[in-house]
Structure 1
Amino acid sequence: MRVTKGCARCRHRHVRCVVPVGASSCSYCARLGQPCHLEPRFKFRPVRHIYQQCDSAPTRYDLVWDAQQVWVGVSRPVTFVPETDGFTHEPPEPEEKDQEPELSYPSPDEPIQLIAPNAAVSVPSDIFLDSTPSPGPVDASTLSLREAFLIRSYIQKIAAVADICDPQSHFSTEVPRRALEEPMLLKALLALASRHDAILTNNSDCEASAFHGECLELLIVALNQPQENYDENLLITVVVLRFYEELERSTDGKYHLLGSNRLLNLMSRSASSGGLAEAVSWQFLRQAIYSSIVQCEPMQLDMQNYERSSVFHRDDDAAYANVIIFLCACIIQQCCTAPGYAIDRKSWQRLAHSVEEWHRNKPRIWHPLRYEAPDLSADRPFPELWIMSPPAVVGLQYYHASSIFLTLSDAPPQQLTDYEISRARLIAEVCFQRHPPRKIASHVVTAIGLSLSNESVQSSYFIASHLLHRFGYCLRQPAEQRGALKFLSRVEKNLGWRTSWIGQELERQWSELAVVGSKVD
């Protein structure tokens, strides 16, 4: 049963109102032993007129009672109940006030108010949910079977994605341990793992929404503390919630992206402090790159905070991969800036030179053990590249992403919107058969080939999917297009990352381009 606005007690306390299936009271009121005053499940709106089609034109009919209206007799007096909850112990909330929790992240200027997802959900009665915030550390032995399963699922299926460029694997080791000490982080991990599990099993994610709401209650309290009290646990929680947000079914609200961005800019030393905080900062940088690539929006992250990181002085594979990720972020930050922004040409040229120097000096073990070029005649559209090091797979993909943006932005325009730039470029490529589309396509094809050739490196599937979403229109060969759609289906089926919408958008773009191309020919 789904309650529209929750009971009066939950609305007054701004907590999520969860009613188990078949129950007459929400979990919160039942735990307190208090009466639960739920709103009517159905509401009726007065209908005073209707429109009916008459001779191809709508005609309005007012519904009024005739003076001679005959009323049906009843055997007992009829009582009319107003649509109020009758809850008198606590004052009702004003009708116009938003009843969902609000998040206010820190900002150097003015804070952005972030509205959490719908607060009222229905949850199967056999799922363990406790909406009472835990006062302190959690004893692992007190976790329900479902919660223990979700924590293990997070460690086995999700954490490796964040740990790809972290030799210490902090997301797999330290983050779960901290979750047992910090209830806010525990709820975030449960929400993320639950939503990921719901996607893989094609079930409802109402349980994930409930965990997410419980986490927001604790997060609001943490954000209301003085900024000097913000710690690593707060930053970790918001970055984990950004993972959760990226798995949204429909649109990406980016609430936690903005929050992470501002927290990280505020906690500027995190990106170069070493340990877990630095690992979280680099993970968020990859999240910010994802958002900029997919949504064509500039990054608001202060990249100078990363320049003091030890990755620029180490020679391990993870550090070398993070260097190209940093360069890719700097390139995207410049070429995705708002219209009218003057790009520093010298800075742009330095970035291009740094990318090529990085590629020339990459370690020998980054070269593929085996390479086989694609063969369209054999319906094998992607190259095969066996790479020894998992960070190298991701690092090489970010190199190809950087090369794409450098190819497209030899002279970044400053007076057009991002849509106008993309539209003009698309028309120019189709009408004049310029070289960039095939060059861009080769980078996208190689990025996909790196993923398919190194299946155990799950992180590689994400950047390839992002590049397909942004630049998949450059794939003009039918074999490449079919292979790209199969790749996206594989990502969603195996990893739980929603990609079907990307495939639908690409099919639409390819169809439009085919029409334009036929007119040009």
Structure 2
Amino acid sequence: MLHAFGHVCLSNKCSQAPKTASFTRKGSQNHNRLSDRECLYATATDEMSSPPVNNCSEIKPHSTSSLTTAESPAIAIAAVMSPDMTKRSYNSDLNPKFSTNSPELMFDSPLTSVQSIPSPNSAPLEWYDLLAEDAINNIDKYNLNLDLDPAGLSRRQSPVPEAEITGLYIHTPDERQGIVAPSHEQWNSPDNISLNESELLLLRHFVGVIGPILDLCDPSKQFSTTVPRLAVHNLGVLKSLLAVAARHQALVVEPHPYQTNSSAQTPGLNASDTNSLTNPYLQVATHYYYECLHYLSQNLLYPSYAKSREIIATALLISTYEMFDAEGKYSSGAWERHLRGIFWIQRAQNNNGECKDPLSRAAWWQWIRQDIWVAFREGRRVLTIWRPTRRLMDLNPDELCLRVVYICGRCVDFAANEKKYDINTRIEQGGKLLQALEDWQRILPSTFQPIYKVNQQESGDLFSPIWIHPPSFAAAMQTFHFARIIVLINQPSMGDINDFRVRQRFLDESVETICGIAIMDRGGEVPSAFVNFQALYAAGLCVQTPAKRSVILQLLESTLDIIKFPPKTLLNDLTNYWRAES
């Protein structure tokens, strides 16, 4: 589904208005007023509360970025419309005494109102119901020879106190005093689960390829290190890990007749079936996926399991499997539906982007990354209703990489196809988001600056290579420009020709940066490519010349060749968008 965005016009007589709001010269005198700025975020809560009173000290950025105050889009666009407001913004310069609202915390998410969220105890079961329903509906599609009763996937027992489950507690010398000690979790194995040769290969593929994709902005590398250790003690984590590894292998391995021997036979794939298969990894992946669901149906009755790190890891791995399995279709698909279920589990455990447990925190950020892409493509809001509590000045570089993901989610909210806001409100909301992006960029340390950058005039190319290292910092800059583009092309304007020219200048800058980083990464950095393709797609939405469109299409195609996700139908979506613009 092609996400529709508004046109960026270069004259004050725009013949084609954006879908979010129409261009008009009518409006109040404050039609493009930016909000005040804030450096202290709201009190930690999942509910939407009133903005906090600002009491932080004046912030001094680590360093100035290449985008100066005078060049910032939020201020420059406003400069052609409200000189007094621009002067105020120059003087404030991240000074908290000018702030009452945090720009990046403006929008709630009505799709996830408190009334629609299951209770903490029932959230994992509600999520599992979504999985089971879709799995049963698709059982004939995959023609699986399952060693389990498909109807059993829909059966579940109500959670019961763990003390009532036979064998969950063991006797101790303290029993005579009425004290019992819990044994190891019944849903975990005290010893390592044995792996056959094929499973070991899939585990190594996960650690070497998929883990780094999920760990791109996580210095603790939770999915490459912690999750595999959980997997060898928990069958649910293991089955979901093997499923996502095999599903990714199905994308990267050319279809061919499967050759195997009995010692390396993958469970779930009978030797008699292999001759007819064009891509055996797909069959294996599906089998592991169903085995994981069967495990969940048997173990969600343990209250401790429903609140464990293992179920969080399993849920995120299942979501990643469904991401690879989505085939570019999101609306009402398994991935789209089940992202909502993971949101329920995260809330039930009170997980968010600042929680103490590193695995839960890493899983939250990966979930929100996935939901941002689906929300962007579907024209809906991002599911989270969590808001950060830490100030930009208190974040280290790795945390700044994650903060821009959150801001990006709010920008996707702004681009959602909603009609309830008038044009003045839309202009103001867009200005606040541009201000939030500017605040983030201006506080970046010098380590986010390019190590290598070719002068475009000297190179003679449409786009010149830009190398930012480490890759997580490059990904953050890609995310920043992705977010800025989708705000600029969805924010209506009542300005004159100068306003449109300023917008186009900033769009051109973002396109050049996105394409420059993508050119430098074209060698095959798989984790970075998962951010590149999203940024390239957004860049393609705002270029006008055939030459630049051709380069972007080539870069996007080469990126999709590297990651094999999403399918190349994304190229068709972009070319169809251009065709509609002609």
TM-score exceeds 0.5: yes
- CA separation of 1:339/1:213 partners in 2, compared to 1, >3 Å: closer, same or farther? farther
Give runs of aligned pairs for residues 93-108 of structure 1, distance below 5 A. Answer: 107=118
SS at match of 1:292: helix
The answer on 1:239 being equivalent to 2:319 is no
Aligned counterparts of 1:504 and 1:449: Cα–Cα separation in 2: 23
SS at match of 2:189: coil
Residues 112-132 of structure 1, C-alpha deviations (whole Å, 9 max, x = no match)? 7523242243579xxxx9769
- CA separation of 1:344/1:358 partners in 2, compared to 1, >3 Å: closer, same or farther? same
- CA separation of 1:165/1:509 partners in 2, compared to 1, >3 Å: closer, same or farther? same
Cα deviation for residue 172 of structure 1 reads 0.5
Q: Which has the higher contact order (CA 8 A, sep 6+)?
A: 2
Aligned counterparts of 2:575 and 2:362: Cα–Cα separation in 1: 37
Residues 312-364 of structure 1, C-alpha deviations (whole Å, 9 max, x = no match)? 7332x211211212222223234427432586987765443232122122111
Partner of 1:452 in structure 2? 519
Residues 468-514 of structure 1, C-alpha deviations (whole Å, 9 max, x = no match)? 4455233333332232232233233222213311111222232333x
The answer on 1:273 being equivalent to 2:355 is yes
The answer on 1:440 being equivalent to 2:522 is no
RMSD of the alignment, in Å? Answer: 3.7
Give runs of aligned pairs for residues 317-466 of structure 1, distance below 5 A. Answer: 317-336=397-416, 338-340=418-420, 349-374=431-456, 380-411=461-492, 436=503, 439-440=506-507, 442-454=509-521, 455=523, 457-466=525-534
Aligned counterparts of 2:449 and 2:242: Cα–Cα separation in 1: 39
Cα deviation for residue 212 of structure 1 reads 0.9
Partner of 1:143 in structure 2? 195
SS at match of 1:165: coil
Deviates more, 1:132-141 or 1:246-255: 132-141
Aligned counterparts of 1:224 and 1:335: Cα–Cα separation in 2: 41
Aligned counterparts of 1:211 and 1:231: Cα–Cα separation in 2: 21
Cα deviation for residue 400 of structure 1 reads 0.6
Aligned match for 2:576, one of 486, 508, 513:
508
Aligned counterparts of 2:302 and 2:249: Cα–Cα separation in 1: 33
Aligned counterparts of 2:506 and 2:454: Cα–Cα separation in 1: 19
Cα deviation for residue 453 of structure 1 reads 1.2
Give runs of aligned pairs for residues 492-507 of structure 1, distance below 5 A. Answer: 492-507=560-575
Look up the equivalent residue of 2:577 and give its one-letter code.
Answer: Q
Look up the equivalent residue of 2:216 and give its one-letter code.
Answer: I
SS at match of 2:573: helix
Aligned match for 1:282, one of 365, 377, 382:
365
Residues 140-189 of structure 1, C-alpha deviations (whole Å, 9 max, x = no match)? 57211111111100111111111111111111000111111111111111
- CA separation of 1:505/1:334 partners in 2, compared to 1, >3 Å: closer, same or farther? closer
The answer on 1:175 being equivalent to 2:230 is no
SS at match of 2:139: coil
Aligned counterparts of 2:390 and 2:323: Cα–Cα separation in 1: 26
Cα deviation for residue 216 of structure 1 reads 1.6
CA contact (8 A) 2:372 2:409 kept: yes
Aligned counterparts of 1:377 and 1:314: Cα–Cα separation in 2: 37
Give runs of aligned pairs for residues 129-168 of structure 1, distance below 5 A. Answer: 136-137=188-189, 142-168=194-220
CA contact (8 A) 2:188 2:235 kept: yes
Partner of 1:119 in structure 2? 139
- CA separation of 1:369/1:177 partners in 2, compared to 1, >3 Å: closer, same or farther? same
Partner of 1:251 in structure 2? 329
- CA separation of 1:264/1:441 partners in 2, compared to 1, >3 Å: closer, same or farther? farther
Residues 365-406 of structure 1, C-alpha deviations (whole Å, 9 max, x = no match)? 21112212557995x443311112222101111111221133
Look up the equivalent residue of 1:289 and give its one-letter code.
Answer: I
Aligned counterparts of 1:507 and 1:344: Cα–Cα separation in 2: 28
CA contact (8 A) 1:122 1:206 kept: no
SS at match of 1:271: coil
- CA separation of 1:383/1:256 partners in 2, compared to 1, >3 Å: closer, same or farther? farther
Partner of 1:184 in structure 2? 236
Aligned match for 2:541, one of 473, 481, 504:
473
CA contact (8 A) 2:533 2:556 kept: yes
- CA separation of 1:396/1:472 partners in 2, compared to 1, >3 Å: closer, same or farther? same
Aligned counterparts of 2:303 and 2:117: Cα–Cα separation in 1: 10
Aligned counterparts of 1:439 and 1:486: Cα–Cα separation in 2: 23
Consecutive unaligned residues of structure 2, counting only runs of 5 or more, are 1-115, 154-185, 256-278
- CA separation of 1:218/1:344 partners in 2, compared to 1, >3 Å: closer, same or farther? farther
Residues 279-324 of structure 1, C-alpha deviations (whole Å, 9 max, x = no match)? 11111121121112222211121122xx146987332x21121121
CA contact (8 A) 2:352 2:364 kept: yes
Cα deviation for residue 251 of structure 1 reads 1.8
Q: Which has the higher strand share?
A: 1
The structure with the larger Rg is: 1
Aligned match for 2:287, one of 201, 210, 214:
210
CA contact (8 A) 1:371 1:386 kept: yes
Look up the equivalent residue of 2:507 and give its one-letter code.
Answer: I
CA contact (8 A) 1:312 1:319 kept: no
Cα deviation for residue 268 of structure 1 reads 2.1
SS at match of 2:486: helix
Count of aligned positions: 385
Task: Please report the TM-score for the alignment, with normalisation by the length of structure 1.
Answer: 0.65
The answer on 1:486 being equivalent to 2:554 is yes
Partner of 1:100 in structure 2? none
SS at match of 2:353: helix
Aligned counterparts of 1:178 and 1:310: Cα–Cα separation in 2: 33
- CA separation of 1:473/1:344 partners in 2, compared to 1, >3 Å: closer, same or farther? closer
Consecutive unaligned residues of structure 1, counting only runs of 5 or more, are 1-104, 414-428, 517-521
Look up the equivalent residue of 2:549 and give its one-letter code.
Answer: Q
Partner of 2:342 in structure 1? 260
CA contact (8 A) 2:319 2:338 kept: yes
Deviates more, 1:219-228 or 1:160-169: 219-228
Aligned counterparts of 1:472 and 1:490: Cα–Cα separation in 2: 15
Aligned counterparts of 2:576 and 2:426: Cα–Cα separation in 1: 36
Aligned counterparts of 1:240 and 1:294: Cα–Cα separation in 2: 21
Cα deviation for residue 210 of structure 1 reads 1.1
Cα deviation for residue 435 of structure 1 reads 6.7
Residues 40-65 of structure 1, C-alpha deviations (whole Å, 9 max, x = no match)? xxxxxxxxxxxxxxxxxxxxxxxxxx
Aligned counterparts of 2:480 and 2:371: Cα–Cα separation in 1: 17
Aligned counterparts of 1:224 and 1:445: Cα–Cα separation in 2: 53
CA contact (8 A) 2:242 2:285 kept: yes
Cα deviation for residue 209 of structure 1 reads 1.1
Partner of 1:291 in structure 2? 374
CA contact (8 A) 1:447 1:464 kept: yes
Aligned counterparts of 1:301 and 1:257: Cα–Cα separation in 2: 11
